[in-house]
Amino acid sequence: MENGFQIWSFSGKQLYKVSKDHFYQFMWRPRPPSLLTAEKEEEISKNLRKYSKKYEQEDQDAFNMLSEQERKRRKQLQAEWEGWVAKWKQLHEEEIPYRMELRDGEASDDEEEYDTKEVEVEEIVDVHEEEVPFELDQ
């Protein structure tokens, strides 16, 4: 491993390279001094598993709460949608007599259930050949 540092651009081009003897650490943004005492830091490092389980459980509880809220929101949206569809179907059924009146008594609501196909038929009725004189002297 080389001692020193290199600075690269965002596109991957090396901008700067410095080799230094006895260069071990470079802190881009040095951390502020800890507010905890050395004994407290040691205690935390020893009990890290206990603390991590506690905080993982809190994270999981928060995630479950958010997902529960999301499920409730989706159920509410689903219920609103189903209510709107039911209301539309009811209005559609109530308008059947009016639509029949507009169509001279014909119930044409069932027309939407069928597919319409257009078939084009070409039939030759008569073939007549005629010679047309073509003159270039005009």
- 61 or 110: which leads in pLDDT: 61
The answer to the question of residue 91 being in a domain is yes
pLDDT digits (tens, 9 = 90+) for 46-104: 888 888 888 898 888 888 888 888 889 999 999 999 999 999 999 999 988 888 888 88
The answer to the question of residue 61 being in a domain is yes
The answer to the question of residue 57 being in a domain is yes
Q: Tokens 């206990």 sit at which residue?
A: 50
Which band of pLDDT confidence, cut at 50, 70 and 90, is reported for residue 27? low
Domain count, the chain: 1
Two tokens, residue 96: 């059947």
- 6 or 39: which leads in pLDDT: 39
The answer to the question of residue 82 being in a domain is yes
The answer to the question of residue 59 being in a domain is yes
d(CA 17, CA 9): 12
Range of the domain at 58: 39-102
- What amino acid is encoded at 136 in this protein? L
The answer to the question of residue 84 being in a domain is yes
Residue 101 has what pLDDT? 86
Whether pLDDT at 1 is above 60: no
